[in-house]
């Protein structure tokens, strides 16, 4: 590993100075390569890689991987999501502007290199509504250019660019098409807080639903697609059970059979036959992701990969004839790698290492634990310890160190086992890092989700407090040496932690977190409006007296005067989910009361930071903030502000080195 970073390691922890400092750039800068794929016809390899410092799509012939060329021309925001057209004639990607999440679809012809905007509309967010194995030159897209709340369905000819309207959306949250690109199902929220599923024939939606869910199953039940012949419809379904099972429904008879189920966790993802669409393998992710094969030949391939790869792996791209796979490999304490797997030859060929600068770096293993909440609920959790507190044979730390409680967003999402750049960064700075799947997190059954209903800032927060107590009792940390940090819901949890339990955490870092749940619900993106009933049922209904009172009670803004510990806030000005006002409000409330707060605003970002320079600049500020108030070490802020768009709205004086960096940036 190459490292020229300078550290400000605290004098009271000389052991930490012996561990090489991993530069922020190595963890959060552009990867050398990422998102490797193979074209459906097997003729081309593709990946994301920097061009003039910005991630773009590259490709090369499979027969000559060194003959690479860049296919896109992004010069500002990185391209983060792309895919192959089914006919292998073009590369497709989506991109927004400044983080506004109005994603448009772009296509690049691989023969001519011509790039076109395939959905050339203002204030529009495209959705991919259907793709086909047998009709390879067209896809279905959803466009909300007519009504921002609803996506109409259009047929897109990928080669001519022609758009033809297929179905006008009059109030539905989504649609499902078969392999013939025919819409066969419409999905609409219902008054029970769940979804109604309507049959669609000849473009006409039936008046009565054929299937329905209530709130309890709304996040754990959904159709998962048809087989190519249209005779089987797969469901991920929790109705009549707790964890979601994989169900196969005969579309003619209606007969259903259980393909896979697990009492610990929901069925996660599936591998399907490239031509028939039949499920060949499925995964379950409880503490770790585990694959089970249904098809014997797929089972042999998965066994081969388990035997020949270190750590975890996943199949991220397959040829149409399924002879070649692109396999992502996470060795956990080494940089991620990508491999080309030839199933017929039984060979693995290196494709690339995502971050070769991390080779030899002191990366730390992640440990998985079950933590018991005060009411007996089991919380699947993940802990990474710094090198100076390496676990013993029983997984217990050898010494207590400061800890960062890193809270995931959503909250209807989850933390998972594997390489985590945030965990590695913070552990390298001397902190234990704990991520907790608190109640309301997804993946562990509907009962686990429902346990979080109307519990923002209450039982969901109690789970975090119980996890901190567990860490203290286990000797991971000391009770006065814990910070709380997170983005989105994790940012809310940070604000709630400092406002509702002001003496628990030594400091907090809030990234795009809402401070006022009432205004959060009033300003959600228009395309989320069809789902508003679920938000009200799970958070609190502002249209009722009790619901409004609940939202105000659980809003950190209304308890801002209780905050006594240092707080760092970051916000994207273009965030459509958590508007800038959410950060402005609590910063203003704290400044009015002369409560110290540091506020960093990014004018060209949205819900999180897409540009590596902005991400690195904020992490530079954050690690110096944590070092000052928690006692780890930090790489100097240096010139990171010069390369970023960060505006220090207030509180530069509360982070060591930030005022000086700001002055240098202004003078440059």
The H or E element spanning position 627 is helix 612-630
Say which residue the tokens 């296509």 belong to: 107
Lateral strand order in the sheet of 163-167: 127-130, 138-147, 150-157, 163-167
Cis peptide before 16 (omega within 30 of 0): no
Q: Which two tokens stand for residue 235?
A: 């469901």
C-alpha dist (Å) from residue 425 to 25, 80, 137, 483:
11, 22, 44, 15
Residues classed as catalytic = 488, 575, 607
Query: Looking at the DSSP assignment, which residues form a beta bridge with residue 337?
Result: 329, 353
The H or E element spanning position 257 is strand 256-260
How many C-beta atoms lie closer than 10 Å to residue 44's C-beta? 19
Distance between CA atoms of residues 126 and 281, nearest Å: 30
DSSP labels, 507-547: EEEEES--S-HHHHHHT--GGGGGGHHHHHHHH--TTSHHH
Strand-strand pairing, 432-436 and 403-407: parallel
The H or E element spanning position 494 is helix 489-500
SS3 content of the chain, % helix, strand, coil (to 5): 25, 30, 45
434 class by beta-carbon count within 10 Å (0-12 exposed, 13-18 middle, 19+ buried): buried
Q: Which two tokens stand for residue 241?
A: 């059970």
């Amino acid at each position: 590993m190459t490292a020229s970073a300078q550290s400000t390691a605290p004098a009271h922890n000389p052991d930490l100075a012996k561990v090489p400092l991993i530069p922020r750039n190595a963890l959060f800068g552009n990867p050398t390569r990422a998102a490797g794929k193979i074209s459906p016809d097997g003729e081309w390899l593709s990946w994301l890689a920097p061009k003039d410092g910005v991630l773009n799509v590259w490709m090369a012939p499979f027969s000559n991987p060194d003959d690479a060329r860049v296919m896109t021309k992004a010069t500002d925001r990185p391209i983060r999501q792309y895919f192959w057209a089914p006919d292998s004639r073009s590369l497709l990607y989506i991109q927004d502007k400044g983080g506004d999440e109005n994603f448009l679809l772009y296509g690049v012809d691989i023969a001519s290199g011509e790039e076109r905007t395939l959905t050339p509309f203002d204030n529009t967010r495209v959705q991919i509504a259907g793709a086909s194995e047998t009709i390879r030159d067209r896809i279905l897209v959803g466009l909300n250019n007519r009504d921002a709340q609803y996506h109409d369905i259009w047929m897109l000819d990928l080669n001519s660019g022609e758009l033809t309207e297929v179905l006008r959306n009059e109030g539905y949250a989504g649609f499902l098409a078969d392999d013939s690109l025919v819409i066969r199902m419409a999905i609409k929220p219902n008054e029970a807080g769940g979804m109604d599923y309507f049959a669609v024939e000849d473009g006409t939606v039936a008046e009565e639903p054929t299937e329905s869910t209530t709130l309890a199953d709304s996040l754990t039940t959904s159709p998962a697609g048809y087989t190519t012949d249209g005779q089987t419809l797969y469901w991920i379904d929790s109705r009549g059970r707790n964890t979601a099972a994989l169900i196969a429904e005969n579309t003619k008879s209606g007969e259903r059979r259980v393909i896979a189920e697990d009492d610990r966790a929901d069925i996660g993802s599936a591998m399907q036959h490239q031509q028939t669409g039949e499920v060949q393998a499925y995964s379950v992710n409880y503490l770790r992701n585990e694959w089970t094969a249904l098809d014997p030949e797929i089972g042999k391939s998965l066994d081969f990969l388990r035997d020949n790869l270190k750590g975890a792996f996943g199949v991220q791209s397959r040829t149409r004839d399924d002879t070649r796979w692109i396999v992502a490999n996470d060795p956990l304490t080494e940089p991620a790698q990508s491999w080309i797997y030839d199933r017929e030859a039984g060979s693995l060929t290196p494709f690339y290492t995502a971050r070769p600068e991390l080779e030899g770096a002191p990366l730390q293993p992640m440990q998985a634990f079950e933590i018991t909440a005060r009411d007996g609920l089991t919380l699947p959790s993940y802990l990474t310890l710094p090198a100076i507190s390496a676990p013993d044979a029983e997984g217990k730390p050898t010494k207590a160190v400061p800890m960062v409680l890193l809270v995931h967003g959503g909250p209807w999402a989850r933390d998972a086992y594997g390489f985590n750049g945030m965990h590695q960064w913070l552990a390298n700075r001397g902190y234990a890092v704990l991520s907790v799947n608190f109640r309301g997190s997804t993946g562990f059954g509907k009962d686990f989700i429902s346990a979080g209903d109307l519990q923002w800032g209450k039982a969901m927060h109690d789970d975090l407090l119980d996890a901190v107590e567990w860490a203290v009792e286990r000797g991971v940390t000391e009770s006065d040496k814990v910070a709380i940090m997170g983005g989105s819901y994790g940012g809310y949890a940070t604000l709630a932690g400092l406002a509702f339990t002001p003496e628990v955490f030594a400091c907090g870092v809030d990234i795009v977190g809402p401070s006022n749940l009432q205004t959060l619900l009033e300003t959600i993106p228009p395309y989320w409006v069809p789902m508003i009933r679920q938000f009200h049922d799970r958070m609190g209904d502002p249209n009722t007296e009790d619901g409004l009172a609940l939202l105000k009670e659980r809003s950190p803004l209304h308890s801002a005067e209780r905050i006594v510990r240092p707080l760092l806030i970051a916000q994207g000005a273009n965030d459509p989910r958590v508007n800038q006002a959410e950060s402005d409000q609590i910063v203003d409330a704290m400044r009015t009361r002369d409560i110290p707060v540091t506020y960093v605003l990014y004018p060209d970002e949205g819900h999180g930071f897409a540009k590596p320079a902005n991400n690195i600049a904020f992490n530079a500020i954050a690690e110096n903030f944590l070092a000052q108030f928690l006692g780890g070490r930090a790489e100097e802020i240096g010139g990171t502000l010069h390369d970023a768009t960060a505006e220090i709205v207030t509180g530069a004086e509360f982070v060591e080195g930030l005022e000086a960096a700001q002055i240098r940036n202004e003078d440059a």
